[in-house]
Amino acid sequence: MDRWVALIGARGLTSSAACVVDCGTAVTVDALSAEGEFLGGAVFPGLRLLRDSLVRGTAGIPANEGDATDCLARSTADGVAAGTLFGLAGAVERLIDEYRRTLGATMRVFLTGGDAPALAARLRAAHTPVPDLVLKGLARIADTL
């Protein structure tokens, strides 16, 4: 439901094609045409799920919080933190590039969700942070009732 509502919120912010990146428990990257048509999207684990899966699925990786400042990490905890954050940023940028091939260079990218600030610091792609995008979508829906 959050995906749809966030797209409705994005449509209220632009009449051009849009990509909504919602960074929560899961990361969703959804595309909206300039005509307002939902074109589809991708869903994959968010930062916490990525990190937890490494701790649960491998022997010897501690559950310690690491520092994701530098991808040249010198400890395992920092390596997990950096690898998941930089990896997530790379995956999101790849999807943005793919969507731009379909939707054109004027496609707007909106970033929302609890982990959006961490991801925003590592994204090279131009984007607009909108922390309350789902609420903006709900307001648009309420205005139509």
Calculate Rg over the CA atoms of the chain: 16
| DSSP helix/strand/coil, 90 | helix
CB atoms within 10 A of CB 91: 14
What is the C-alpha to C-alpha distance for residues 137 and 61, in angstroms, rounded to an integer?
A: 40
Is 78 among the residues known to form the active site? no
- Which DSSP category does 135 fall into? H
Just list the catalytic residues: 2
